[in-house]
Amino acid sequence: MGISEIDVTRGILEGFTRDFLGSLELDVAVVGGGPSGMTCAYYLAKEGLKVSVFERNLHVGGGMWGGGMLFPRIIIQDQARDILEGFGVKLEPFQEGYSVGDSVETVSKVTAAAIDAGVKVWVGMSVEDVLIREEDRVTGVVLNWRAVELANLHVDPLAVEAKVVIDATGHEAGVVHTVARKIPGCRLRTETGGVIGEMPMWAEVGEAVIVENTREVYPGLLITGMAANAVYGSPRMGAIFGGMFLSGLKCAGLAVDMLKEA
């Protein structure tokens, strides 16, 4: 039995509509599908929470696909080894305390595990704003198609509610920047009250502080991964990724605690 073009269209629209309507009221909205965002979403879904990842590109994985300078290998420190091996990623010892992993394998297995755990991943969707309610608390995200953003079209967005929002947008820390820019008198939970900005590369230091920098930066808004280091003025790390996974794990725990307190 064949299938018509209309049947194909119907199947796509019905499936998308059903799943997207189911994502309008979330426990956690994760903005950015890089290693920290996907790891965080995985652990949250394992807790039985309703989680969606919104990724503006047509692929997840952030900068991990290309490894270091398009050599698809990444360095992982031993502290994060259990996380990666839990996803089924094969690691080869490199030097004491560090291993080498295949970046393509890592992205693929982490993504598959997150989806299997119940995470909904939406690609091609940009978060252009946040919802603010309940005495200046972030309570959701405002979405538009990335294609609309790139075309510079004036198309009004749609919104999704979330009890917790997580900025996992990497170097740009896009959600935190939006909050700092758009809320009058905004004071982030940083030394300066604003986004301090990313320092130059220093892998050892950047990896050491990224978990510490993973925290609630504004009521209802957590940061994880490179966004955390960018907000708190810490160095970038390059193609060593263990801290990203450790940050995602910590962020999931923080989100669970926030939801319990709500």
Q: Contact, 38 vs 28, CB < 8 A?
A: no
pLDDT confidence of residue 26: 98
What's the CA gap between 67 and 77, in Å, rounded?
Answer: 15
Q: Is the pLDDT assigned to residue 134 strictly greater than 80?
A: no
pLDDT confidence of residue 195: 95
CA torsion 13→115→3→22, rounded to 10°?
-30
Which pLDDT band holds residue 184 (cuts at 50, 70, 90)?
confident
pLDDT confidence of residue 2: 87
Q: Contact, 235 vs 206, CB < 8 A?
A: yes
pLDDT confidence of residue 211: 97
Q: Contact, 91 vs 108, CB < 8 A?
A: no
Residue type, 204: E
Read off the pLDDT of residues 61-99 as tens digits, 9 standing for 90 and up.
Answer: 999 999 999 999 999 999 999 999 999 999 999 999 999
Q: Is the pLDDT assigned to residue 35 strictly greater than 70?
A: yes
Read off the pLDDT of residues 219-228 as tens digits, 9 standing for 90 and up.
Answer: 999 999 999 9
Q: Does residue 121 sit in helix, strand or coil?
A: strand
Which pLDDT band holds residue 261 (cuts at 50, 70, 90)?
confident
- Residues 226-259, buried b or exposed e (16+ Cβ, 10 A)? bbbbbbbbbbbbbbbbbbbbbbbbbbbebbbebe
Strands 25-31 and 158-167: parallel
Residues 206-225 have a mean pLDDT of: 97
Strands 25-31 and 98-102: unpaired
Domain range 5-62+104-261, its CATH number among 3.40.190.10, 3.50.50.60, 3.30.1300.10, 3.90.1150.10? 3.50.50.60
pTM, full prediction: 0.96
Strands 137-145 and 215-218: unpaired
What's the mean per-residue pLDDT of the chain? 96
Q: Is the pLDDT assigned to residue 262 strictly greater than 80?
A: no
